[in-house]
């Protein structure tokens, strides 16, 4: 197996190391001349490997809601002059819907969810708990609500539910209470303030041994600010709609909430029938639209996690679009 750094590696200089890249290329079923939609372009790390597998020929549609990735797209286009490439800025659900209305049909769609290294590593974007910065966390800076606004304008009960559901935070209630008390004096605007407040709100033993004590609250805020779970549901629906028969759908998620949505969606679409389980015969007549390519979730190898610790939580699932009834085994 090739290591991540090999002579001529097209991603050697990428600011974001693409995760599970061999598995992505294998599962997308690529051939020269295909039409590929990359719903989460980022730094174009996967894009470069996909373009290489297509021999630099075909059509590449790159979507991202973060306008700062345009420079990476420009470099990608420059390096692949024979590829017909275009960039669509926006949320992938709406972007895929609009592309489908133009008549575009994709042979492969890739989702590599979550945030990029460029977003995490730029302190001013406010995604990181390790550096003090304004609490922003918007992937698309033109969106309305920042993390600070969510934090300062949401009721204690809703904050507690948000931390528990989206962050799976055990101490959601005491943290929400501490936030509401503090913001009664002055709004909470910076990440260091929030980190300190979380540390004080949780029992001392919980501050050690389970990762950074603010990790789960930051995850919850980020998911809420960017409506990540709602966007994912919409994006998956639109992806199936835009796939040509025989087209491949590959999705990489980074936490259990996302993976559950992907897993349930793929299973539902591979099952077809939506009748209640106690119905003796099918009354809905819905045929499966997907066949699963991965019956079990694909995880990175220990070697990949050693090389790129951010890959550790990645989970890949894939399916193929079918318009003929299939046997699901």
- Residue count, binding to ligand SAM (CB under 6 A): 21
Stretch that binds ligand SAM, among 108-116, 163-171, 205-213, 262-270 (CB under 6 A): 108-116
Residue 76 or 171 with smaller CB distance to ligand SAM = 76
Q: Which residues lie below 8 Å from residue 55, measured CB to CB, with a gap of 6+?
A: 32
- Told to check if 308 binds ligand SAM by CB under 6 A, we report no
**Beta strands 243-253 and 106-112: pairing type?**
parallel
Q: Which of 27, 116, 146, 253 binds ligand SAM (CB under 6 A)?
A: 116
Q: Minimum Å distance from CB 204 to ligand SAM?
A: 34
182 or 317: whose CB is closer to ligand SAM? 317
Nearest to 49 by CA among 4, 84, 94: 4
Q: Are 318 and 248 in contact (CB under 8 A)?
A: yes
For residues 323 and 150, what is the distance between their CA atoms, to the nearest angstrom? Answer: 43
Residue 91 in the binding site for ligand SAM (CB under 6 A)? yes
Q: Is 73 in the site for ligand SAM (CB under 6 A)?
A: no
- Per-residue binding string, ligand SAM, 20-49, x by CB under 6 A, is --------------------x-xxxxx---
Distance (Å, whole) CA 3 – CA 6: 6
* Interaction between residue 167 and ligand SAM (CB under 6 A): no
DSSP H helices in 39-82 = 45-53, 70-79
Q: Are 28 and 52 in contact (CB under 8 A)?
A: no
Shortest separation between residue 218's beta carbon and ligand SAM, angstroms? 16
Distance CA 316, CA 4 (A): 18
How far, in Å, CA of 33 to CA of 58, rounded?
A: 4
Determine if 112 is a binding residue for ligand SAM (CB under 6 A): yes
Q: Is 259 in the site for ligand SAM (CB under 6 A)?
A: no
Binding site for ligand SAM (CB under 6 A): 16, 18, 40, 42-46, 63-66, 69, 91-92, 112, 114-116, 139, 231
């Amino acid at each position: 197996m090739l290591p991540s750094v090999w002579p001529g590696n097209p991603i050697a200089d990428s600011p974001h190391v693409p995760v599970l890249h061999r598995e992505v290329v294998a599962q997308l079923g690529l051939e020269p001349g295909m039409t590929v939609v990359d719903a989460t372009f980022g730094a174009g790390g996967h894009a470069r490997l996909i373009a290489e597998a297509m021999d630099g020929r075909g059509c590449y549609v790159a979507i991202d809601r973060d306008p700062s990735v345009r420079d990476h797209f420009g470099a990608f286009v420059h390096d692949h002059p024979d590829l017909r490439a275009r960039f669509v800025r926006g949320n992938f659900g709406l972007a895929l819907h609009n592309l489908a209305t133009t008549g575009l049909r994709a042979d492969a769609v890739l989702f590599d969810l979550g945030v990029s290294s460029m977003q995490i590593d730029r302190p001013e974007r406010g995604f990181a708990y390790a550096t003090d910065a304004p609490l922003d966390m918007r992937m698309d800076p033109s969106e309305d609500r920042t993390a600070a606004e969510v934090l300062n304008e949401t009721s204690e009960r809703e904050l507690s539910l948000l931390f528990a559901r989206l962050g799976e935070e055990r101490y959601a209630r005491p943290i929400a209470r501490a936030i509401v008390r503090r913001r009664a004096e002055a709004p909470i605007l910076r990440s260091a303030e929030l980190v300190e407040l979380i540390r004080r709100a949780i029992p001392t033993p919980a501050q050690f041994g389970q990762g950074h004590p603010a990790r789960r609250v930051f995850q919850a805020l980020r998911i809420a600010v960017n409506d990540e779970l709602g966007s994912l549901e919409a994006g998956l629906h639109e992806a199936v709609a835009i796939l040509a028969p025989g087209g491949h759908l590959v999705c990489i998620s980074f936490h259990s909430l996302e993976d559950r949505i992907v897993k349930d969606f793929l299973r539902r679409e591979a099952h077809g029938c939506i009748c209640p389980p106690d119905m003796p015969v099918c009354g809905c007549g819905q045929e499966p639209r997907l066949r699963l390519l991965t019956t079990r979730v694909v995880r990175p190898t220990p070697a990949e996690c050693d090389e790129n610790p951010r890959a550790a939580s990645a989970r890949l699932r894939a399916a193929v679009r079918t318009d003929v009834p299939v046997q699901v085994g």
